[in-house]
Structure 1
Amino acid sequence: MSEKKRFHFTGICGTAMGAVAAAMKQRGYTITGSDTNVYPPMSDFLRNQGITITEGYQSENLPADADVIVIGNAISRGNPEAEAALDRKLLYMSLPEVLKEYFLHGKRNFVVSGTHGKTTTTSMLAWLLRQAGRDPGFLIGGLPKNLGQGAYFSPSGFNVLEGDEYDTAFFDKRSKFLHYLPECVVMNNIEFDHADIYNSIEEIKLTFKRLLNVVPRSGVAFVNGDDPNCLEVSANAPCPVKTVGFGANCDHRIVDVSYDRDGSSFTLDGEPYTIQMTGEFNVRNAAMATVSGQFAGLSIAEIRAGLASFEGVARRQEVRGEINGIRVIDDFAHHPTAIKLAVQSLRQRYNGSRLWVLFEPRSNTTRRAVFQNELAEALALPDFAVVAAVPDLHKIPENDRLDPDKLAADIGLYGGHGRYVQTVDEIVAIVAAEARPGDTVAVLSNGGFGGIHGKLLESLKECAPV
C-alpha cells in the first residue's frame, strides 16, 4: 500500500484517530478529516499539524482523489461519508488496520489486554521504556501524567498499545487487539463486559484465545495466574505463557506487599519495587509492567527507577481538590469489580476516612440490567453511595434497563447506605450538606458526569467556615 498517499479520516477528532492522522501527516501523507465534535484541544492540535477538518459528516467531504477512507469505530451505517465510500467503491480501512499496516509491522509490539487495568499498565510500561531511553510509540485510552499525551508514534523499535477487546468497526466485528501484531501480550484479567456487543463470558474468552493465537513462538503472554478465566484461555496457547500473581503456583510471584498513603511496595522474583499508587490492583499492574519491561530488555535498575517515578493516569484516583478537609477524587471505575477495587484502594490510602461514592451508570454495560445485583454489592462497600440518573436510558431496550431505584434499595440490603438522586445539582447539595471534614468523596464515571467535580468543590467552598 506504499503508493497510497491521500487519506481522509471520518471521525478524526477521536484521541487515537487524531494522533494517527497527525503521525501520518508528519510522514508526508496528505490528510483531511471530518467529525461532528470539532473542538479544542484536538481541533487545535490537528490544525497546527496542517490538517483540514470539516465539521459535520457529508458525502462531499470525501476528496475526489482520496486513496483511503479511514472510518472510525464510532461511525455506523447511515453515516453519509461511510455510505459515500461504499457507493464510490473506495478503499476504506479501520484505524487498527491503518496502525497494523503503517506503524506496527516489523516492530516489537507490547499489547496490554484485560477487562481492568489496561490503561494504567500500558502507561506504566510505556513510561518504563521511555524513562530508560527506548523512545517507544504508544496508544493509550487515557492521559498518563508522565507522558503528557495518550498516543505517540516514534521511529524506535517499540510500541506499547492498550489492547481493547471492543470491536474494530461497523464492517469488522473482530476485537481491535487482533490487528496489533503482538510480540508480548499482557492479560490482566477477564470478566464479562461490553454487553452491547458480547452475549456471554464465553464469547469474551473466545476473543482472548484468538489474541493468544497471533503471538509468535518467539514472543510471550504474561497472564494473571490468580484469574481462572485467564488460566482457561491460556491453557493451550501456541505461544509461551508465564503466569504473574500472588498465588504460590505463579511463575512470577508477588510477595511482601505493603500500602501507605503515599504508595505501595512489593517484591517480585526477589526484587523490591515501590510505586506511587495504592491498591492490590495497582500492584498487579506494576508486576505486569515489570515482567514485560524485562522481556523488552530493561534492567532491574531501570524498571525500579521507572516504577518509582510513575505518577499515574488522569482520572484514576486523581485528587481534584480538598476543601474544608473534604477531598474530592475522580476515578474512571464503572464495572462492579473496578468499583470494588477502587473502594479497597481508597480505604487503604485514606484509612479511617468516611468514604462517599457518587456513581454515574454511563457505560453501555452499566446502563443495562446485567449487573443490577453486582453493582449493588459493590456500592454497598463505601459508607455512602449515591446513584445518579442513567444517561440516554431511552436507547436501551425497556426490559434490559438498569433500575436505579432498585439499585439504591438493594445497596441497603447488602448492608450499605444507598440513594438514587437524579440530578447533579441535587447530588452536590446533598454531599455539601452532609459531608464533614476528613471525608473522601469519590466520583466514579467513564464520562464527564455533568461537571460534578468542579460543582462539588465550588459548593464545598461556599459551605466552608469563614
Structure 2
Amino acid sequence: MPDGKVYLLGICGTFMAGLACIARELGYFVQGCDKAAWPPMSEQLASYDIELDKPCAAAALGHYDTYIVGNAMCRGDELLEALLTRRIPIHSGPQWLYEQVLQHRRVLCVAGTHGKTTTASMLAWILEFAGMQPGFLIGGVPINFGISARLGQSDLFVIEGDEYDTAFFDKRSKFIHYRPQILVLNNLEFDHADIFKDLAAVKTQFHHLLKTLSADTKVLIRADEAALQDVLEQGFWSQREYFDIDNDDADWQARKYDDSFELLHRGQTLGHCRWHISGEHNIANAVGAIAAAAHVGVPPQTALQALESFVGVRRRLEVCGTYNGITVYDDFAHHPTEIKASIAALRSQRVSRILVAFEPRSNTMKAGNHNEILAAAFDDADHLFFYTPADLTWSAESVLQKAKPRWSCYDDTVQLQKAITEELRSGDHLLVMSNGDFCGLKDELIKLLSV
C-alpha cells in the first residue's frame, strides 16, 4: 500500500476532490489547496480528514512526494510557479488516476455534453445494486452513495468522461486518458467556449477519444444525435450499439409513460421501471446506463429494479425541502439544453407555478455564446428572476425580450432575494439554477422561507 504524501492544487473542484478521496483510500497522506471551498466537495473532503490550504501558497513546497495540478490552476499561482522554478515534477489528475487506478480496472466511461453526471450515477448504482461494488469518480454526488468518488471493491470503475481540458500544460480533454472498455456517448453540443473555438473543435476531441479505444471496446451511442454521427464518420474502430427513446431503429430503447418507462432490446420487451426521477432526458440517460451495465453482466431486469430505488444526484433538480408550502430545488444546469430539460421535467410533475432564479456563471454563458437560444430555454417557467453579475458581457434585458415567462433582471443579490420572496406564495416551486454557489442565494432564501 502506498505511503507517500500527495498534494492537490485546486482540490475543491468536483474531479479533484473525488481524486483526493481515492488517493486517501489508496493509502496516501493527502492535502491540497484552493482559492475557496464550498459544499458538497468541502464537506466530502472534511469527511476524509483531508486538510485544505486557502489559497495555494509556496509553504507547501518540498513537503510532498507528488503534486497534482487541477485544470483550474493557471500560471502565476505562487505555489505552481515555485514548483516550476524548482523543476519539481507535476502531474495532471487524469493521468495520475489512470496510472494509479484505471489501467488496472475495467473502465466504464460516460461522455457527452449533457447528462454525464446523472448517467454515470445511474450506472454506478446499477452495478452496486447488482452486488458488484464498483469504484467511481463522478462530477457530482449521487444521493444513493453520498460521495462523488470511491476506490471500490471490484475491477469495475465508472468514470464521468469530461471533455474539459486536462491541465494548463495538457490541453487534451480529460477523457483522453481513461481508455475505457465501455463508453456511453449521450449527446454533443457546443460548450466550454473558454477552451473550444467552435463545435468542430469539440468534435475533434471526441474523435481523439474514439481513436484511443480498442477494437473490442463497446460504444453505446444515443441515436439521432447528428453531431455524434459526424464524429463517428471521422473514423471508428470499435463495436457500437445505439440507444434512444421511442426509436425502433435503436438497439436499446425506452417507451415512456407518465411515471415509468418500458425497456426494449432489439424489439423485445425486457421489463418496466416505475421510478422517482422526472424528465424525458433522464429516461434516455437510464437506457444508456442499462445498456452499459448489460455489457458487464448485469441483467436488464436487475438494472430496471435498481433504477426504481435510484434517488438522483445532488444539485440535479434536487429537492432541498418545502418551506411554508414552497418547494425549493437546487439545479446545476448552465446550458440552454439543460435549463430547458430541467424546467420541463419539473413541469411534467403537473406542478402549479414554477419560479426560476438563474445565474449565468459558466464562461460560455458569460461570453454570450448561447444568447440566440437562451430565452426559449425558460419557456416552461412562469416567472424568471435573472441575475446579471458585473462580468456579464451582454445585455440580459435585450436577450430576454423573447422570453415567454414574466422576467426581471437584478445586478444585486439582496434585491434579487427580496423580489423573489415578495413574489412567492404557498404552492409555488422555486428552482435555483447555477453551476456555482449563486452568492449563497439558495441558503438565504431557505432561511427566509423557513420563518
Equivalent residue of 1:357, what SS?
Answer: strand
Residue of structure 2 in register with 1:309 after alignment: 309
Distance apart, 1:347 and its partner CA: 1.1
Residue of structure 1 in register with 2:413 after alignment: 424
Identify the range of structure 1 (112-121 vs 415-424) with the bigger mean alpha-carbon deviation: 415-424
Residue of structure 1 in register with 2:384 after alignment: 385
* 1-structure distance, mates of 2:324, 2:57: 51
Asked if residue 94 in structure 1 is aligned to residue 92 in structure 2, the reply is: yes
Q: Indicate if the aligned counterparts of 2:111 and 2:185 stay in contact, CA closer than 8 A.
A: yes
Distance apart, 1:69 and its partner CA: 1.9
* 2-structure distance, mates of 1:47, 1:278: 32
Question: What is the correspondence of 1:163-174 to structure 2 with a 5 Å cutoff?
Answer: 163-174=161-172
Distance apart, 1:138 and its partner CA: 0.5
Assess, with a 3 A threshold, how the Cα gap between structure 1 residues 368 and 44 changes in structure 2: closer, same or farther: closer
One-letter amino acid matched to 1:438: G
Distance apart, 1:23 and its partner CA: 3.2
Residue of structure 2 in register with 1:254 after alignment: 254
One-letter amino acid matched to 1:161: I
One-letter amino acid matched to 1:201: L
Assess, with a 3 A threshold, how the Cα gap between structure 1 residues 357 and 251 changes in structure 2: closer, same or farther: same
* 1-structure distance, mates of 2:221, 2:417: 41
Structure 2: gaps of 5 or more residues: none
* 1-structure distance, mates of 2:133, 2:328: 35
After superposition, the C-alpha distances for 1:228-247 in whole angstroms (9 at most, x for unaligned) are 11122224311111111132
- Report the count of equivalent residues: 445
Distance apart, 1:155 and its partner CA: 4.2
Distance apart, 1:450 and its partner CA: 2.4
Equivalent residue of 2:308, what SS?
Answer: helix
Assess, with a 3 A threshold, how the Cα gap between structure 1 residues 53 and 328 changes in structure 2: closer, same or farther: closer
* 1-structure distance, mates of 2:146, 2:336: 29
After superposition, the C-alpha distances for 1:38-96 in whole angstroms (9 at most, x for unaligned) are 688867865776766544323341226x4432111111111122222222222211000
Distance apart, 1:419 and its partner CA: 1.5
Distance apart, 1:448 and its partner CA: 1.5
Equivalent residue of 1:203, what SS?
Answer: helix
* 2-structure distance, mates of 1:340, 1:7: 41
Equivalent residue of 1:366, what SS?
Answer: helix
Equivalent residue of 1:81, what SS?
Answer: helix
* 2-structure distance, mates of 1:357, 1:39: 22
Distance apart, 1:25 and its partner CA: 4.0
* 2-structure distance, mates of 1:211, 1:29: 30
Identify the range of structure 1 (11-20 vs 163-172) with the bigger mean alpha-carbon deviation: 11-20
One-letter amino acid matched to 1:220: K
Q: Indicate if the aligned counterparts of 2:184 and 2:219 stay in contact, CA closer than 8 A.
A: yes
Q: Indicate if the aligned counterparts of 2:69 and 2:90 stay in contact, CA closer than 8 A.
A: yes
One-letter amino acid matched to 2:205: T
Residue of structure 1 in register with 2:215 after alignment: 217
One-letter amino acid matched to 1:423: D
The one of 378, 384, 409 equivalent to 2:401 is: 409
Distance apart, 1:405 and its partner CA: 1.9
RMSD: 2.4
Assess, with a 3 A threshold, how the Cα gap between structure 1 residues 102 and 375 changes in structure 2: closer, same or farther: same
Residue of structure 1 in register with 2:147 after alignment: 149
After superposition, the C-alpha distances for 1:339-359 in whole angstroms (9 at most, x for unaligned) are 11112111111x151222211
TM-score, normalised with respect to structure 2:
0.91
Q: Indicate if the aligned counterparts of 1:355 and 1:442 stay in contact, CA closer than 8 A.
A: yes
Question: What is the correspondence of 1:245-284 to structure 2 with a 5 Å cutoff?
Answer: 245-246=244-245, 247-255=247-255, 257-260=256-259, 264-269=260-265, 270-271=269-270, 272-284=272-284
Asked if residue 241 in structure 1 is aligned to residue 233 in structure 2, the reply is: no
Equivalent residue of 1:365, what SS?
Answer: helix
Assess, with a 3 A threshold, how the Cα gap between structure 1 residues 152 and 361 changes in structure 2: closer, same or farther: same
Residue of structure 2 in register with 1:345 after alignment: 345
Residue of structure 2 in register with 1:179 after alignment: 177
One-letter amino acid matched to 1:442: L
Asked if residue 441 in structure 1 is aligned to residue 439 in structure 2, the reply is: no
Question: What is the correspondence of 1:48-87 to structure 2 with a 5 Å cutoff?
Answer: 53-63=52-62, 66-87=64-85
Residue of structure 2 in register with 1:34 after alignment: 33
Residue of structure 2 in register with 1:297 after alignment: 297
One-letter amino acid matched to 1:369: G
Assess, with a 3 A threshold, how the Cα gap between structure 1 residues 330 and 168 changes in structure 2: closer, same or farther: same
One-letter amino acid matched to 1:421: Y
* 1-structure distance, mates of 2:322, 2:46: 37
Distance apart, 1:162 and its partner CA: 0.7
One-letter amino acid matched to 1:364: N
Distance apart, 1:460 and its partner CA: 3.8
Q: Indicate if the aligned counterparts of 1:184 and 1:292 stay in contact, CA closer than 8 A.
A: yes
Residue of structure 2 in register with 1:396 after alignment: none
Assess, with a 3 A threshold, how the Cα gap between structure 1 residues 26 and 188 changes in structure 2: closer, same or farther: closer
Identify the range of structure 1 (264-273 vs 153-162) with the bigger mean alpha-carbon deviation: 264-273
One-letter amino acid matched to 2:220: F
Distance apart, 1:278 and its partner CA: 1.3
Q: Indicate if the aligned counterparts of 2:2 and 2:26 stay in contact, CA closer than 8 A.
A: no
Distance apart, 1:22 and its partner CA: 4.0
One-letter amino acid matched to 1:433: E
Q: Indicate if the aligned counterparts of 1:268 and 1:287 stay in contact, CA closer than 8 A.
A: no
One-letter amino acid matched to 1:403: S
